[in-house]
């Protein structure tokens, strides 16, 4: 079964339609293809957002962190998961605009699948034109800014309010665009979340560390993008459509169970 209405709304909401000048022969790598996650169809990542180095890869790790550590480089716009064999899985990310990002160290104390989102009081106060229309929150699903998974960063036993999470704003990956959180392609955050245990240590590199390990050019990768103004009518239409589809699926599931029970009886 396909759901064109939700997919169309999602495409409008994300503003990630394929550009007219895109290579017609370009193909999305399998790691970023569309697939069904639970009851939700995850859209593919268009190829133009996956040009190197903006895609997941495994490479020799040059840092000193222990295996199992998450290392975020907000300057090169990469997140590393350190492996046991001297390598690391590197994911492209989007980070907070200047002065807004998470710094230092933290610990993953909570994980959620398809989390809902509500703007914080600080977001509503400082950028009401961006976040005000969504003050009531957005439930989990393709319309939620937190995407498919969220890893919650704690420090000193307290929630920092910063997250490593998915996104429906694929254009932002490789740039500085968020209110402070670390964004990943949904396919990547699912891949990471499946491997990360609660208690995982997270370290954020300094600029000096980024230059030393990545080089000057890579340590200045990407650009700072302005906040994206999104039409709330499109978002909440997608939310309503998603709920209708959920009800339809649940109704179909119950009918199938009843039919099977009658056959067995």
What residues make up the domain containing 127?
A: 4-245
Residue 262 lies in a domain: no
Residue 190 lies in a domain: yes
Give residue 251's pLDDT.
93
**Domain tally for the chain?**
1
Specify the pTM. Answer: 0.85
Residue 239 lies in a domain: yes
Give residue 25's pLDDT.
52
Residue 39 lies in a domain: yes
Give residue 26's pLDDT.
64
**pLDDT, tens only, 67-117:** 999 999 999 999 999 999 999 999 999 999 987 889 999 999 999 999 999
Please tell me which residue in 12, 14, 21, 181 is annotated as part of the active site: 181
Residue 254 lies in a domain: no
Q: Residue ranges of the chain with pLDDT lower than 70?
A: 1-26
Residue 117: strand pairing partners: 138
Please tell me which residue in 12, 14, 165, 191 is annotated as part of the active site: 165
Give residue 70's pLDDT.
99
Q: Known catalytic residue: 21?
A: no
Q: Known catalytic residue: 191?
A: no
Residue 251 lies in a domain: no
Residue 250 lies in a domain: no
CATH number for the domain harbouring residue 42: 2.40.440.10
Residue 253 lies in a domain: no
């Amino acid at each position: 079964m396909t759901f064109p209405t939700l997919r169309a709304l999602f495409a409008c909401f994300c503003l990630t339609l394929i550009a007219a000048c895109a290579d017609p022969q370009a193909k999305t790598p399998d790691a970023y293809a569309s697939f069904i996650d639970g009851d939700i169809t995850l859209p593919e990542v268009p190829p133009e957002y996956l040009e190197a180095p903006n895609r997941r890869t495994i490479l020799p790790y040059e840092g000193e962190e222990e295996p199992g550590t998450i290392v975020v480089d907000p300057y090169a716009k990469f997140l590393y998961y350190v492996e046991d064999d001297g390598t690391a899985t590197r994911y492209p990310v989007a980070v907070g605009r200047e002065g807004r990002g998470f710094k230092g160290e933290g610990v993953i104390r909570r994980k959620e699948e398809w989390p809902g989102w509500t703007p914080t009081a600080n977001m509503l106060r400082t950028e009401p034109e961006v976040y005000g229309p969504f003050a009531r929150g957005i439930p989990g699903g393709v319309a939620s800014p937190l995407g498919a998974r969220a890893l919650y960063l704690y420090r000193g036993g307290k929630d920092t309010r910063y997250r490593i999470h998915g996104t429906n704003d694929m254009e932002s990956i490789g740039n500085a665009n968020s209110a402070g959180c670390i964004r990943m392609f949904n396919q990547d955050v699912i891949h990471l979340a499946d491997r990360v245990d609660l208690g995982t240590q997270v370290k954020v590199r300094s600029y000096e560390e980024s230059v030393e390990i990545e080089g000057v050019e890579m340590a200045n990768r990407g650009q700072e993008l302005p906040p994206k103004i999104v039409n709330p009518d499109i978002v909440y239409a997608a939310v309503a459509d998603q709920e209708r589809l959920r009800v339809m699926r649940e109704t179909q599931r119950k009918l199938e169970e009843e039919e099977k029970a009658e056959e067995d009886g």
